[in-house]
Amino acid sequence: MAIMKSEQVLAESSKSFEDAIEKAAARFSKTVRGLASANVNNMSTVIKDGKIKKYRVNLQLTFEVEEPATPKKKKK
């Protein structure tokens, strides 16, 4: 049975929502193994002078919790 854990992150991009999601997944994967899914909780933008400057996404990223390593027995 797999045990899963999730963390909430905020990511942004000047290109698109999709790019922000891809950046979040790539960055999260650098520090956590077993990334399994991303759920978009919220999407927003930063607007300046009537134009979108930043695309922001709030994501719930889910990953598998690894089994603890079993300690090696000492030889006598």
Q: Any residues with CB less than 8 A from the CB of 30 and at least 6 apart, and which? A: none
Query: What CATH number was assigned to the domain covering residues 3-65?
Result: 3.30.1660.10
Domain ranges of the chain: 3-65
DSSP H or E segment with residue 3: strand 3-13
Structure confidence by residue, pLDDT tens digits, 25-50: 999 999 998 899 999 999 999 999 99
Share of the chain above pLDDT 70, in %: 99
What does pLDDT average to over the chain? 92
**How many Cα atoms occupy the beta-carbon half-sphere of 69 within 13 Å?**
3
Q: What is the pTM of this model?
A: 0.79
